Amino acid sequence: MSGLVGHTMYAVLARKAAERRWPSLGRVMREHLASYVAGAYLGSDIQTMPEAVCVDTGREVGYGTVPMEKSPLTGGAVRPFMLHTPGGDMRPGEVHDRFYGRAHLVFGWSVREKSLMVPWDHLPDYFAAVCDDLKREPQNRDRALAYVMGWIVHVVSDSLIKGIHPGVDLNLIDGRYTPRNRPVQDLVTYHEIGIKEFSIDWPAIFRDLAATPVEPVQVHYMRCAQPSGELAKLFADGWKPEAEPTLRAVLAENRRWVREHAKDVLSDMKLDAGECSEKLRTLAGMNYAGMVRAAEAARFRAALTQIQEAVLNMFEAVHQRSGIW
């Protein structure tokens, strides 16, 4: 299952709360909603690319780093997908190894770069430095700020839902974040919360986020640019400007493939006469009505509120340090 639904929802929840507390920030998020939501997904998940190519049809399939043994289109053979970059051809796993930690900060680093991990209590300083550096860039500053705020949502929410940092009380079927309960989380978020509670137009929001441009600030906050600004002063280690051309190719590929990935996610989320697909029923071990009951019993909606509050607390800590909004 994809994190696209989950991270979009975390962004929606954070924006609604932020609008009440900081009207000026709420305006930026509202006016640049697509960039804000793009930051909440593509701002961190740089493995958004195909995993394989269907041998029978030549079509790209899958989602980077998720193993695929046979084509979902024909059931036939697949060959590995390779991304062509200025730094050479790369498999999704190699992209993940080189860049994932740089986007997630508190986890996901390769062994050789483990020392660059940012402790949780240093995150406000890191985020505030990135925001301060935006003050030097008047062109498209608000759009870039919206993207950065979405990225902050991702870093915080991913750390909580995956148990990297405490703060989410959730035991849904078999844990907090497992292969069995992820379909439940996505389906309940999509239908019961997204559509019924917030009237989200999921196809439109996915389409719009895919159309957003690559934000130069992402190359900066991933430390794949020339060291500069407050971020370089506070976090002087780990800069790799030589990786910038490769990272830009990765970020462009993220935007290309998220269009196709979103189609797969939307297909998975469909209900037919109130029932989800057999594939998702098999993964979760229950029908859709059972998933809704399980989510209610686990107080899943309350867990989302915990994530919302943690993100708002991080926004507040950044605001106190930067004051960009």
211 φ/ψ sector (left φ>0, alpha ψ -120 to 50, else beta): alpha
Query: Shortest CA distance to 287 belongs to which of 300, 296, 298, 278?
Result: 278
Judge whether residue 141 has pLDDT over 90.
yes
- Cβ atoms < 10 Å from Cβ of 115: 8
Average pLDDT estimate for 273-297 = 98
Do residues 119 and 234 lie in contact, with contact meaning Cβ atoms separated by under 8 Å? no
> pLDDT tens, 147-200?
999 999 999 999 999 999 999 999 999 999 999 999 999 999 999 999 999 999
> pLDDT tens, 70-114?
999 999 999 999 999 999 999 999 999 999 999 999 999 999 999
Amino acid identity of residue 105, one-letter, is: L
Phi, psi of 90 (to 5 degrees): -135, 140
Give the tokens for residue 57. 């049809």
Judge whether residue 43 has pLDDT over 90.
yes
Radius of gyration of the chain (CA): 19
Separation between Cα atoms, residue 108 and residue 114, nearest integer Å: 9
Judge whether residue 223 has pLDDT over 60.
yes
Do residues 46 and 251 lie in contact, with contact meaning Cβ atoms separated by under 8 Å? yes
Q: Render the burial of 117-155: b for 16+ CB within 10 Å, e for the rest.
A: bbebeebbbbbbbbbbbbeeeeebebbbbbbbbbbbbbb
Judge whether residue 1 has pLDDT over 70.
no
Provide the pLDDT for residue 164. 97
- Find the length of the chain: 325
Provide the pLDDT for residue 136. 86
**Average pLDDT of the residues of the chain:** 97
Reported confidence tier of residue 6, pLDDT bands at 50, 70, 90 = very high
Query: Shortest CA distance to 325 belongs to which of 39, 24, 11, 20?
Result: 24
Do residues 22 and 325 lie in contact, with contact meaning Cβ atoms separated by under 8 Å? yes
Judge whether residue 2 has pLDDT over 80.
no
